[in-house]
Chain A
Amino acid sequence: MFFKQIDLTTALRPSLISGEELLFVQDGVGLYEGKYKIPDCQQGYAYLTSLRVYYVDEKEPRKNSVAFDLREVEKTDYQAGFLKSSPKITFHPKLPRDGHQSVRLADGRIAVEEGSSSFPGSRANSPRRYSSLSSPLPPSNATWICPICSFSNPVPSNFDPSNANASIPLPPCLACGIKPPLAVVLKAAVAAASKRILPQHPDEEFSGNANSTIDDPVQTETTITCPRCTFHNHVSLPACEICGAPLRSEQQHYPMANGGSKPRRAESPGPQLAELNLDDNAELASVKISFRAGGDKTFYDRLKGAMTQRKWLLQSAPSIPSPLSPSTTGDLDNETGLARTPITRPASTPVGIAGLERRGLEMRKNNEVVIGTAFEDLEALMASAKDIVALAEKFAIDSGRNAAETSSVFSESAAALGMVTTKDKLNSGSDNLYLSELSRNLAEYLTDDRTGVLRAEGGVMSLVDLWAVFNRSRNGVELVSPLDFHKAADLWGRLNLPVRLRRFKSGLLVVQRSDWNDDKTVQQFKTWLGQLQQIAPAEEVHWEWSLFGRGVSAQETAQRFGWSVGVAIEELEMAEDKGVLCREEGIEGLKFWSNFLVEVGSDAE
């Protein structure tokens, strides 16, 4: 089970894969590896989805946020809080399934284990500081000898002896160019792995019992003798210059094995690791999440649900076969015997306009079939949902229960149908978390480059417009009330998100990017009006357009910048307040000009 670096969206939430569904969010969690706290990962948010568990750190989200896949979790444990320690959920990783199971423990040693998971008590007795070595997995240090030319080639780093089979491509020998048989590479990998494991136990006497014929490299003061060809290499070389044999043996990374002092036991409680190790190759013993702000029970329940559902298997599953659709057009019948899904094209593609027309017809038929089948079930669901909710309402009214109970009845009925709302995902009662998640969601939605909502509106959008667009995009589920929306928008400033709420003089609330300010808008106005001054106006005008340019109305401004008209008026008035523009009220309406009235010396006499 590996920790993975994750991608965060602009609002500092994890970006989910398509098909991944968010199940639960909890704040105030800390991350542990094995028994030890991981520093810098003690205060953050845990996101549970159908495929993964994410940890997003609160202080440095981009640096210290990690995730691990649920498919790699063997089992989970729940540990209730006791006195000072908070409740924890432990995730045990799956063990690789072959006879040769090597799991790297939290203290950096590799224990060989066959079958049962009884990690020796030595692990508990002498916890070591996790050295941040990235000593590679067995294969990459191994070398295989080519049977034809006896040149020693390195085994590729992604070669895993446990999972190797005939389909893995093997690189050819570097000297003679001939691909080796799989057995040779396998043997070399296994031998190197076993060789590495043996010298690790300081308390035991394996070191004298080298199984391999190759000796370990001997290090003198300035040179290292290669174990294979006895060439004296420089101390800092990783591999021998002549034959390429690895020089760095694991022994050198454990000087303590050669009689160094016993490592100190870290202080309790919550001993810490040196740092968070995100190395792809580092396997973990177990991971714990500690819930310091509650939410553990719900998290555990949802987690169990997600583990039983095993949504990750769907990703590799074949697509659902659809029922045979009888072909109605006569000329597609070359393969009438085959089962065709609605999506496949006919093998014989007719040419010409007739062909295009037929293709269009087929596509439409396809769509009809697909949509029809989809909506059949949906309608059945919606019908029953309505019934149940109506029933609950009736009972509530009849028995005259108070509002709190009725809402709990609703949420129960909704949950029973599987319609889990976002509020439920967040251990409802904690409004703050709902609002902060909502505001992050909004920020992502606004800055999403695919839809470009904010950009389409010229960078400024009124809050009401945004509310309408956002709810429309939700397609009828999980709509947001205006009050919640407003509160979430207020949180943008506090959460340092890339958008902010701005209030105009007249009280209009708009949404704008954080790095955009009034001066930039003013500058835009100035350049635009300056440009207008260069061009002659369309119709005959009676003032010196070369001197004064032209006035602009709010509609023109809105069109030019992509704003809505209300926003345009507000921006123009803002520029007028700054003294950059002056207004003119004429028969045609309100227009704004560059402010020549305050310019010095523009008046004769």
Chain B
Amino acid sequence: MATASSSLTTSSMFTFPPTYSFPPFFSPQPNAQTRSAQLSKWSSLVQSYCRHHRIFKLLLSDALESPLFHNSKLKRRLSAHDAKAVVDYMTSKEGDNRAEWIGPATEKASAWIWWRRPEEWAGVLEAWVDGTGQKGTVLTLYELVEGEATESQEFHGMDMEVLRKSLGTLVKKGKAQVFGGEGQEGVKFF
């Protein structure tokens, strides 16, 4: 989990949107309309950044130093307070529920960033399982995320928690079943 959140090992550099170079982007706006526009832009920036770097869990203290919240070229950064406000916005309905705080709400230290929601992941998983004709077979979770067969897939290297969450949605829908002990879970798709 820790590795995923701070990994920057990607092949290509992430291209920031032009707004990233707009200094007022980093200052909280008093005007309500401007503020909501600003927040939504931040939300999409965070999502695309995380998608590119395959970050599922955002640790705020680390993120403040990363290029995500800190534009060294422009010498502007988002303050901790403002970063929390951005993530709060993303957790809300307005922000499309793209984030979820981990742990008690009083200490907002890290959050899940749902650049793809668990339901959406479930759909991807299901599509792959269906496509490879593995319905009915039992797969371990480890195999799903780290197996060679899934290397080309998007969910390769996915965080275990996220996988579990998405499988959980499938279980609720009755499309899969999870069993097994800690560290060796298996899943069977119907």
Contacts and interface: CB of A to CB of B under 8 A. Distances in A.
The number of chain A residues touching the other chain, given as a range, is 20 to 34
A87 B23 CA distance: 74
B30 A576 contact: yes
**Of listed A548, A577, A593, A598, residue having the most chain B CB within 10 A:** A598
Interface in B102-122: none
A603 B24 CA distance: 14
Interface string B11-30: 00001011101111111011
Interface in B49-99: 73-76
Contacts of B37: 597-598
Contacts, number: 77
Interface stretch (A167-175, A232-240, A580-588): A580-588
B24 A597 contact: yes
B24 A583 contact: yes
Contacts of B48: 605
A596 B74 contact: no
Interface string B117-137: 000000000000000000000
B29 A543 contact: no
Interface in A546-605: 547-548, 551, 576-577, 579, 582-587, 591, 593, 595-598, 602-605
Given A603-B44, A605-B44, A605-B48, A582 B29 contact: yes
Given A543-B74, A603-B44, A605-B44, A597 B27 contact: no
Q: Is the interface of A mostly helix, strand, loop or mixed?
A: loop
Contacts of A591: 23-24
B21 A597 contact: no
A545 to B, nearest CB: 10
A605 B17 contact: yes
Nearest to B21: A543
A542 interface: yes
B6 interface: no
A449 interface: no
Given A542-B74, A598-B33, A584 B18 contact: no
Contacts of A547: 18
A582 B24 contact: yes
Nearest to B74: A542
A582 B22 CA distance: 11
Given A542-B73, A577-B31, A593 B21 contact: no
A597 B25 contact: yes
A544 interface: yes
A593 to B, nearest CB: 5
Contact of B26 (A576, A584, A595, A596): A584
B164 to A, nearest CB: 29
B165 interface: no
Given A577-B31, A583-B30, A597 B19 contact: yes
B15 A582 contact: no
B177 interface: no
Contacts of B45: 603
B23 A597 contact: no
Contact of B17 (A576, A579, A604): A604
Contacts of A596: 19, 22, 24
Contacts of A543: 21-23, 74
B38 interface: yes
Interface string A429-464: 000000000000000000000000000000000000
Contacts of B76: 586
Contacts of B15: 604-605
Nearest to B29: A582
A542 B72 CA distance: 10
A2 B15 CA distance: 85
**Of listed B25, B44, B45, residue having the most chain A CB within 10 A:** B25
Contacts of A582: 24, 29, 31, 34, 38
B23 A593 contact: yes
Contacts of B75: 542, 587
Contact of B29 (A583, A603, A605): A583
Nearest to A579: B33
A583 B74 CA distance: 16
Interface of A: 542-544, 547-548, 551, 576-577, 579, 582-587, 591, 593, 595-598, 602-605
Given A576-B30, A603-B44, 19 more contacts: A542-B74, A543-B23, A543-B74, A544-B18, A544-B21, A548-B21, A576-B31, A576-B34, A582-B34, A582-B38, A583-B24, A584-B23, A584-B24, A597-B24, A597-B29, A602-B19, A603-B18, A605-B17, A605-B48
23 contacts: A542-B74, A542-B75, A543-B21, A543-B74, A544-B18, A551-B23, A579-B33, A579-B34, A582-B24, A582-B31, A583-B24, A583-B30, A584-B23, A584-B24, A586-B23, A595-B34, A596-B24, A597-B19, A597-B25, A603-B44, A603-B45, A604-B15, A605-B17
Q: Which 8 A-B pairs have the closest CB atoms?
A: A584-B24, A604-B17, A543-B21, A598-B37, A585-B27, A582-B24, A584-B23, A603-B17
